[in-house]
């Protein structure tokens, strides 16, 4: 099937221009000059995008779908989370494989069985949460499985954390095999001590989640990992940047030629530890935690100055009150959530919704306010993640031959955002009541219209696993 999208303004990571987009099957066939002969004489299907922008589908480099945690599970599975992604203009997500089985192969197979119901395209990072000789020997085989990145943690002692020596050894392997290491930077030892002290002194409230995970731990762990990466001659990507100090460290090390990159998430641009002090503060519990207004401002500056390369979401939603069902696709559903930690902040499942919110919220607050340009918006949310994670130019591009993952974006559309508009399967939204200007009107996945206004035309299982190529340093 061939479709012509006419009269739109294309926005890419490097330019904004008028063109008509000819889609054939799953691919962009051609970009045509508006007055070209093919455009004028076209008699096939036409979509008129007058007054609208055409963006490459969003690529969210950081989501957690169907993730077991603290005796419950994150409330979006691979279908509901990817449906929500699509409504927000995101057509590719990268999830994480838990290293739950003896081998990577077994862990990846188990993940595939859960992920195959995705409604948009999807890929995976591998959580590298154990390291020994057998793991080292198997690590390069992840590339054949299409998984070219691993996530390591300097926090979550006795659970997910690797020691520095193992991180260093793993970096030598990832560097040699064209892979990228992602790093969750916090100081696990300090967190253990502060958490025990807090609980022993009766500090159980949500704000203590932030107080026991200090920003300096994130800063020193980030610099430590950057130094390990430089020593191992391997690239490194810092996930969910949340502090001014991390932005400083990223700038400092990039200026010195280190192959390091960073991602922040919308929640770290707007919210602070004060939000945890609200009566419903558990809604903002995630790790790393919310910081200060000065951190928000420095992260914005780092986005506008191209110090940070991507905006992901770390989408990992839980219900605020998982004892009360919501309606989702006509069914009642309740999944235990943040109420599990009503009397103890360490029992509140860590994570927030955001996969649908990312593009509309960042457009209004970033492009609308002039903090970033429309081209930077596309770079941060689509093109850079596609390049860094080995999916470009199939994803993240408006080029002949690219997958026809397109968003027709209405820059004038005003919405009062919140849980009523959201397809994220949870009972709250961080941006409740926010006035947004700019919203996806139509979303195409490989040439198929899957979102048309409020209408869902996608299907579970229509997403395709993306075997990623070698990662790129930007
Ligand atoms: O709180 C969060 N972010 N949960 C997901 C796990 C992680 O560390 O990214
Ligand atoms: Zn993390
Ligand atoms: Zn995460």
Please state the domain count of the chain.
2
Nearest CA to ligand 1 atom 7: 287
Q: Do 279 and 384 belong to one domain? A: yes
Ligand 3 centroid vs 100 CA: distance in angstroms? 17
What's the rounded mean pLDDT across residues 203-212? 98
Which of 182, 316, 345, 346 to probe ligand 1 with, by most ligand atoms within 8 A of CB?
A: 316
The alpha carbon of 7 and the centre of ligand 1 are apart by a number of angstroms equal to 41
Q: What is the mean pLDDT of residues 149-171?
A: 98
Question: Which of the listed residues 388, 407, 437 is the one where a domain comes to its end?
Answer: 388
The band of 4, judged by pLDDT with boundaries at 50, 70 and 90, is: very high
Q: Which of 388, 404, 426 is the last residue of a domain?
A: 388
Strands 149-153 and 180-184: parallel
Judge whether 468 lies within some domain.
no
Instruction: Note whether 199 and 297 are same-domain residues.
Output: yes
Q: Is the CB of 286 under 6 A from ligand 1?
A: yes
In the chain, % helix, strand, coil (3-state, to 5) comes to 30, 25, 45
CATH number, position 199: 3.20.20.140
Burial class (CB within 10 angstroms; exposed 0-12, middle 13-18, buried 19+) of 256: exposed
**Domain check: are 29 and 167 in the same one?**
no
Residue 328 and residue 436 share a domain: no
* pLDDT band at residue 193 using 50, 70 and 90 as cut-offs: very high
Q: Which of 177, 172, 184, 265 is nearest to 224 (CA)?
A: 184
Q: Is the CB of 245 under 6 A from ligand 1?
A: no
Pocket test for ligand 1, best of 182, 351, 352, 355 (most atoms within 8 A of CB): 351
Residue 271, both tokens: 């919210």
Residue 38 confidence (pLDDT): 85
Burial label for 137, CB within 10 Å (0-12, 13-18, 19+), is exposed
Cα 277 to ligand 2 centroid, rounded to whole Å = 23
Same domain, 228 and 129: yes
Q: How confident is the model at residue 234 (pLDDT cuts 50, 70, 90)?
A: very high
* Ligand with minimal distance to 316 CA: 1
Is residue 39 predicted with pLDDT exceeding 90? no
**Crossing angle of the two packed helices 215-232 and 244-255, in degrees rounded to 10:** 20
For 78-119, how does the pLDDT look when each residue is reduced to its tens digit (9 = 90+)? 999 999 999 999 999 999 999 999 999 999 999 999 999 999
Q: Judge if 410 and 369 occupy the same domain.
A: no
Global pTM exceeds 0.85: yes
Residue 366 binned pLDDT confidence (cut-offs 50, 70, 90): very high
For the cut 90, the answer to whether the pLDDT of residue 349 exceeds it is yes
Which ligand 1 atom minimizes the distance to the CA of 184?
A: 8
Say whether both 327 and 432 belong to one domain.
no
pLDDT of residue 446: 98
Of 334, 363, 388, which residue sits at a domain end? 388
Closest approach atom of ligand 1 to CA 67: 5
**Are both 17 and 161 inside the same structural domain?**
no
User: Is residue 347 assigned to a domain?
Assistant: yes
Residue 414 has pLDDT above 90, yes or no: yes
Burial of 386 (0-12, 13-18, 19+ CB in 10 A): buried
Q: For all residues of the chain together, what is the average pLDDT?
A: 98
Q: Does the Cβ of 184 fall within 6 Å of ligand 1?
A: yes
Under the banding of pLDDT at 50, 70 and 90, the label for residue 70 is very high
* Residue 350 located in a structural domain: yes
Beta strand pairing status for 90-97 and 121-127?
parallel
The whole-angstrom separation of Cα 104 and Cα 139 is: 8
- Residues 308, 251, single domain; the answer is yes
Residue 345 above 90 pLDDT? yes
- The response to whether residue 154 sits with its C-beta less than 6 Å from ligand 1 reads no
Q: Is the pLDDT of residue 1 over 90?
A: no
Q: Pairing between strand 180-184 and 68-69? A: unpaired
* CB distance 121 to ligand 1 below 6 Å: no
Split at pLDDT 50, 70, 90, the class of 40 is confident
Contact at 8 Å (CB) between 84 and 356? yes
Asked whether residue 206 falls in the same domain as residue 191, the answer is: yes
Asked if residue 396 lies in contact with residue 387, where contact means CB atoms within 8 angstroms, the answer is yes
Q: What is the pLDDT of residues 415-464, one digit of tens each?
A: 999 999 999 999 999 999 999 999 999 999 999 999 999 999 999 999 99
Report CA(351)–ligand 1 centroid distance (Å). 6
Q: Is the dihedral of CA 430, 433, 435, 436 positive or negative?
A: positive
Task: Please give the residue range of the domain that contains residue 49.
Answer: 2-56+396-456
The domain that holds 442 is classified in CATH as 2.30.40.10
Residues 413 and 349 in one domain: no
Among protein residues, the one whose CA lies closest to atom 5 of ligand 1: 351
428 and 314 share one domain: no
- What's the distance, CA 166 to chain centroid? 26
Q: Is residue 474 part of a domain?
A: no
């Amino acid at each position: 099937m061939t479709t012509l999208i006419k009269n739109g303004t294309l926005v890419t990571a490097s330019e904004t221009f008028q063109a008509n987009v000819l889609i054939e099957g799953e691919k962009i066939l051609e970009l045509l000059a508006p007055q070209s002969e093919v455009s004028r004489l076209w008699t096939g299907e036409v979509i008129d995008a007058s007054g609208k922008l055409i963006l490459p589908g969003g690529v969210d480099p950081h989501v957690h779908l169907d993730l077991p945690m603290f005796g419950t599970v994150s409330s979006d599975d691979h279908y509901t989370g990817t449906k929500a992604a699509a409504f927000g203009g995101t057509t590719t997500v990268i999830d994480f494989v838990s290293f739950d089985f003896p081998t990577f192969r077994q862990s990846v197979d188990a993940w595939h069985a859960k992920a195959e119901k995705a409604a948009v395209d999807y890929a995976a990072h591998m959580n590298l949460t154990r390291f020994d000789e057998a793991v080292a020997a198997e690590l390069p085989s992840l590339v054949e499985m299409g998984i070219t990145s691993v996530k390591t943690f300097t926090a979550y002692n006795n659970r997910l954390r690797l020691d520095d020596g193992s991180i260093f050894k793993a970096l030598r392997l990832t560097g040699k095999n064209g892979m990228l290491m992602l790093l969750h930077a916090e100081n696990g030892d300090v967190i253990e001590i502060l958490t025990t002290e807090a609980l022993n002194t009766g500090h159980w409230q949500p704000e203590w989640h932030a107080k026991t995970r200090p920003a300096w731990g994130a800063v020193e762990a980030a610099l430590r990992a950057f130094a390990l990466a430089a020593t191992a001659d391997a690239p490194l990507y810092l996930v969910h940047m949340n502090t001014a100090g991390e932005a400083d460290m990223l700038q400092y090390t990039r200026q010195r030629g280190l192959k390091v990159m960073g991602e922040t998430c919308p929640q770290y641009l707007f919210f602070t530890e004060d939000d945890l002090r609200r009566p419903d503060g558990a809604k903002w519990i995630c790790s790393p935690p919310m910081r200060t207004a000065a951190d928000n401002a420095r992260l914005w500056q780092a986005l506008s100055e191209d110090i940070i390369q991507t905006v992901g979401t770390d989408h990992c939603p839980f219900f605020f009150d998982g004892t009360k069902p919501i309606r989702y696709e006509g069914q009642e559903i309740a999944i235990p959530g943040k109420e599990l930690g009503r009397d103890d902040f360490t029992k509140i499942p860590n994570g927030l919704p955001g996969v649908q919110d990312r593009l509309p919220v960042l457009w209004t607050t970033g492009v609308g306010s002039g903090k970033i340009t429309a081209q930077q918006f596309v770079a941060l949310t689509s093109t850079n993640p596609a390049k860094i994670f080995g999916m470009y130019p199939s994803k993240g591009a408006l080029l002949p031959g690219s997958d026809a993952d397109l968003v027709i974006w209405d820059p004038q559309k005003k919405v009062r955002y919140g849980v009523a508009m959201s397809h994220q399967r949870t009972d709250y939204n961080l941006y409740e009541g926010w006035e947004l200007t700019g919203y996806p009107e139509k979303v195409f996945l490989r040439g198929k219209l899957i979102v048309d206004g409020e209408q869902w035309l996608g299907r579970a299982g229509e997403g395709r696993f993306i075997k990623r190529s070698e990662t790129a340093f930007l």
